[in-house]
Chains A and B, each alone.
Chain A
Amino acid sequence: MNSDLENCFKESFNLNSNIIFFPVRHHSPACSYHLLKVIEDYNPEAILIEGPEDSNNLIRYIIDETTEPPFCIYSSYSDEEGIISEDKERYRCYYPFVDYSPEYAALKEANKRNIFSSFIDMPYPLMLVNETVSLNDSSLYDYDNKKYDSNTYTSMLTKKSGLRSFSEFWESYFEINGLKKQSEDFVKSVFSLGYFMRLLDKEVNLDMEENLKREYYMAKNIAEKSKKYKKIIAVTGSFHVLGIMEVLKNCFGKETDKRQEISFKRYDLNNASSYIIPYSFEDIDQRKGYKAGIEFPAFYQRVWENIIKENNEDVYEAAVKSFIILSSRAERDLHNITIPDSINALYMAKNLSRLRDKKEPGVYELIDSAKSAFIKGEISKTNTSNLEFMFKILSGLKMGKVSSKTIVPPVVIDFRNMCRKYKIKTTTIAKQETTLDIIKNQSHYEKSKFFHKMSFLQLNFCTLLQGPDYVNKKDRNLAREIWQYSYKTDIETSLIDLSVYGVTITDMCLNIIRKRLSEILSALEISKLIINAYVIGANNFLEDNFNIIENIILKDSDFVSLCSALSNFSYLFNMDKANRNITLEENMIFNSENKDISIPLSKIAKKTFDISLYNIMSLKNLKEEEAFKAGMALKCLYSFTIEHRDWCNIDNFNDSINRILENTFGSSHIYGVCLSIKYKEGLLSLEDFSKVIGSFLESTSSSIEDSSYFIAGILLISRDILFVSNDIIDKIDDIIKSLSNEDFLRVLPNFRYAFTSLMPSEIERLSKTIAVKYETSSTNILENFDVDMEEIKKGMEIDAIVLKEMKNWEFI
């Protein structure tokens, strides 16, 4: 052994000295096992642990009996001062703990022995502002662990061992073999690993400066604590041990070198927070979770349980065996793993471990054995269900628990209370479904509101599978909602991230809606937001923010957006009115507090109407392709004038229509729509209207497309013109007859669009008129539509029943 390494190790791990260092790799069962033994031998007065110093207040909750791993310390920092970047972003970081985390084992043991324990690493926000790490939304422990995968030394070791990855190498040499070693030998091997990794990293100066800052911080904390405690054990990543020792010697020893001192940039503590959050194995599994990178957590959990139970005798083989048995016990229809397959798998795992010079088979042999013994046929996308199943059980489904006494952000408490109130399971991450009768059942309606709020927060907690979509005005006739939801621990962390917006979920939604108000929104978007606010029960939203909303509408010059907003306001008003008519027992969908929204709504609608009229002239410059949308908007506007005549100045509206018609340049479609409105308003006689239509169709026969756009515009508003006299039908007929095949096909879509405005009864009537003209029957004219056979059968059955009933009632 290298003499420097030997000396360094002796210095770091002398059970007779005041401070000993226990090097670890995070999430290592072997490290935890030996750590407990070393604590027993050394009998320290204090245990100092690599972990965020600002979370020391959480230790009492971590060691609480009711807290069960997996859980994590969640640290967040909001860069309000713009120290990190001008964007003033929000940062978050996780410190996951599992049962076999050395850090957790150390904390629990300290508690058991009633000795001092503390985290000594830089708080996450301090790392950020001092550019020690830049990671966001991931785990710091796993960030440290990843160093092993990319280090030059570990890569060389892995290659030499012939194993596939450093993780496999670690499992073989440090976990399986490590358990059988004496504790001192084990500590030496982990220390050596860190020593050489550091040596090679130093040569290439990889992240060294960042590491030095953390090591300085940890050393400073150790030095401080050593004044009070005589025997300290420091549990840190193996990579950092040497660095900390050097700093202790150079900066906090007898002869200190002032030049090596590091001063840190400060940050506002009010912008930082940390909590303990329950986690699940699924979240921390490297294969699925993105916030932590623990490999096969359920496997190592089993190993750890075996270690505790059996005291390191063949614990890995026992774990491998138990997973093979577990997989064979799974649903036979799906996985089809027989007992001989399991025997074969165990044989494979044990012999592979011998071939690979491992003392026992580990998780990699287990996976290899599943590949070989459980897959019958070619490994392909469709043939790996057994292997996938093995991966699934290796990952596990365990959910952590956090002591109820712990400091939990109010929003999480609110969320948990809501879940309790509405009987939403938070003990499983499996997807669940619930059907809510939102009209008849008060509690269902409340629960629906909660789901709507959670859905608005976009936390992937719940999805509306079926039910009325008020915002997008779809399926509004439905009276039931079907929600699918699944509880995941990251919902709570996401809620914490959003906690800047409020202390309850309702506050949060409201504030987010308010925040959205500050964004550049169109009238249509704001109208949807208003509906959204009502759906989640934010009744005062419009009134409270009237000026802002009014400003948004005033600024919008998009005619289509304004008219669509107007249509939404009208819809909201009508819904509110309808709900108001329902008795109190039968709940209201939007406004449970029965607050009258009609006044602010009418005010804002009037404003929107005025602005729409102000922008109406923009319709003149539209191209025909764009005119369809604008035509629909104009129709919305016109409908609004009919529905809410008292809210709008109809004279102004008619003036605007007249101004558009002052010249007929521009879109033929808009021209048609305006002409129809004028006729409908009684400002144009039927005779004149028919004449204008007739002459337009005749004069533009050379431009057949214009005619088709024009007819579509006319029929959008006044379909009745077709039935007042046969003139119009004759003109259209003449035009179509004069078309060549090619031209006909070109304008066919426009004509089809034009006639989609007709109601079924009108189509029937029109077909009769045409039938008379062509001396045939209307059934010959009407096309046969492709209808599903099942639908036809069902229709016929209903017809028969109705006919029978009508006869019974003597209607016919």
Chain B
Amino acid sequence: MAVNNSKNENNERNENINAQKPLMETLYKKELEALRNIDKDKRPQNWLMSPKSVRDFILGKERPIELNGEKIEITKKFYGDDALVERAIITLAGNRGLMLVGEPGTAKTMLSELLSSAISGVSTITIQGTAGTNEDSIKYSWNYAMLLSKGPVIEALVPSPVYIGMNKGIITRFEEITRCPLEIQDSLISILSDKVLNIPELGEDAILFAKPGFNIIATANTRDKGINEMSSALKRRFNFETVESVKSASIESEIITSQCKNLLKTSNIEMEIDKDVVEILATTFNELRTGASFENTKVPELNAVMSTAEAVSVYYQSALSAHYYGDGKIKMTTLIQNLIGSVVKENKEDLPKLKSYFNDAIKIKSEKLGKLWKEYYNGRNLIK
């Protein structure tokens, strides 16, 4: 069982800001505290903050909040569709699960982490869905050594994340639910509708009732396996929210900037975000994704998923390279190399298309906007 439900260890891990990817509740600890501090609104049972504060935590607040004399700015963490976040919060306060679907890299996981860390203060109660996920991972399993020595007792039971969520009244996350076999997914049906889990091994009366506050946030990407195979009975237990990729290049720039800032901070790299590079990257990704360039040139359609998450990764990789091998300034050649890496992930046939995009749209941009765009265009020979 992957979940570590030992309280101390859990806390230790939560506090560890130096983790490669810090948890949302760790990263935004102060923001969460500040919001909880001023939260006067009604909150659903077992929620750590009211729905309004959850929304403010995810969508940001115009004015900073004071916490112990310090002004804490509540930043916007999820861009694109504010109403979607609001609907997601209301869904979680109700009795249906929340299913976030969308293309890879559209921040579904990030949103689910933000939601669970704001609502339950913990985003680690998670099942990672794979083809190998079995019913034990969803319900419970046994510590066999203890089972043999003591028989079926509660101490011998190894709870699953769903079990923990029900027991404590907190949010359980189910990542990539559609990667699990259909029958395994369906074991959630009764849990979600009846909110009880029978443990027949412990006797007839052994039933775990879900405490208020328990709910499930599942994510599924529509690119690979899709959600078509999900049973309609299970679908009925969820409210679906489709997370779409960011439409505007300027919002994409904001996302790249804020996420890279966090990534560099956790990597202990002191480096300013280069706005011009971000703009180039956001424009490239946006145009290649939407198929519409500012100059009305024909943009070829790539097989690769040109997600914002990929753009963040391209910037971060380039920044690391600049930090360790260069003078701390991102070179266009490095950026292009990382961009190529991101594109060829799916299909090598995308490379000539990328090159034609450079020869067309980027060429015009380089003539019009000069400077860095020119350098970017000149690096096109790396695309082979």
Contact = CB atoms under 8 A, between A and B. Distances in A.
A351 B240 contact: no
Interface in A148-190: 160, 162, 164
Report the interface size class on chain A. Answer: 20 to 34
Contacts of A341: 236
B291 interface: no
Interface stretch (B83-91, B159-167, B199-207, B359-367): B83-91
A84 B235 CA distance: 61
A378 B91 contact: no
A373 B226 CA distance: 20
Contacts of B90: 347-348, 351-352, 355, 372
A352 B86 contact: yes
A727 interface: no
Interface in B56-83: 59, 62, 82-83
Contacts of A347: 90, 94
Given A164-B82, A344-B96, A355-B51, A375 B240 contact: yes
B347 interface: no
A355 B94 contact: no
Nearest to B242: A379
A340 interface: yes
A377 interface: yes
Interface string A305-347: 0000000000000000000000000000000001011001001
A164 B82 CA distance: 9
B87 A371 contact: yes
A164 B83 contact: yes
B93 interface: yes
B213 interface: no
Given A355-B55, A378-B102, A372 B241 contact: yes
Tell me the interface secondary structure of chain A in the complex: helix
Nearest to A159: B62
A344 B94 contact: yes
A368 B86 contact: yes
B87 A348 contact: yes
B52 interface: yes
A368 B235 contact: no
B93 A376 contact: no
B32 interface: no
Report the interface size class on chain B. Answer: 20 to 34
A372 B240 contact: yes
A375 B99 CA distance: 11
A146 interface: no
A348 B94 contact: yes
A340 B52 CA distance: 26
Interface string A393-426: 0000000000000000000000000000000000
A160 B96 CA distance: 31
B307 to A, nearest CB: 16
A356 interface: yes
Contact of A355 (B86, B96, B235, B239): B86
Contacts of A377: 101, 227-228, 230, 235, 240
Given A340-B236, A376-B232, A376-B240, A352 B101 contact: no
Interface string A362-392: 0000001001110111111000000000000
A351 B43 CA distance: 12
A220 B96 CA distance: 61
B52 A355 contact: yes
Contacts of B93: 351
Contacts of A375: 240
Nearest to A336: B232
B235 A376 contact: yes
B227 A378 contact: yes
A378 to B, nearest CB: 5
A716 B228 CA distance: 60
Interface in B218-239: 222, 226-228, 230, 232, 235-236, 239
Contacts of A164: 82-83
Contacts of B87: 348, 352, 368, 371-372
A341 B236 CA distance: 8
Contact of A373 (B59, B83, B230, B239): B239
| Most chain B beta-carbon neighbours within 10 Å: one of A348, A354, A371, A377 | A377
Interface in B89-116: 89-91, 93-94, 96, 101-102
B204 to A, nearest CB: 30
Contact of B239 (A352, A372, A379, A380): A372
A355 B89 contact: yes
A521 to B, nearest CB: 39
Contact of A356 (B86, B227, B239, B240): B86
A351 B51 contact: yes
Contacts of B62: 160
Contact of B94 (A338, A351, A378, A379): A351
| Most chain A beta-carbon neighbours within 10 Å: one of B52, B222, B232, B239 | B239
| Most chain B beta-carbon neighbours within 10 Å: one of A164, A354, A380 | A354
Given A351-B93, A355-B55, A344 B239 contact: yes
| Most chain B beta-carbon neighbours within 10 Å: one of A338, A344, A378, A379 | A378
B52 A162 contact: no
B296 to A, nearest CB: 25
Contact of A378 (B51, B59, B240): B240
A338 B236 CA distance: 10
Contacts of A355: 51-52, 55, 86, 89-90
A162 B236 CA distance: 31
A351 B239 CA distance: 15
A351 B236 CA distance: 20
A356 B83 CA distance: 10
25 contacts: A162-B59, A164-B82, A164-B83, A340-B236, A344-B96, A347-B90, A348-B91, A355-B52, A355-B55, A368-B83, A368-B86, A368-B87, A371-B87, A372-B87, A372-B90, A372-B241, A375-B240, A376-B236, A376-B240, A377-B101, A377-B230, A378-B101, A378-B227, A379-B242, A380-B242
Given A351-B94, A372-B87, A372-B241, 16 more contacts: A344-B94, A344-B96, A347-B94, A348-B91, A354-B51, A355-B86, A355-B89, A368-B83, A368-B86, A368-B87, A372-B91, A372-B239, A372-B240, A378-B102, A378-B240, A379-B240
Ranked 5 nearest A-B pairs via Cβ: A379-B242, A351-B90, A376-B235, A372-B87, A372-B239
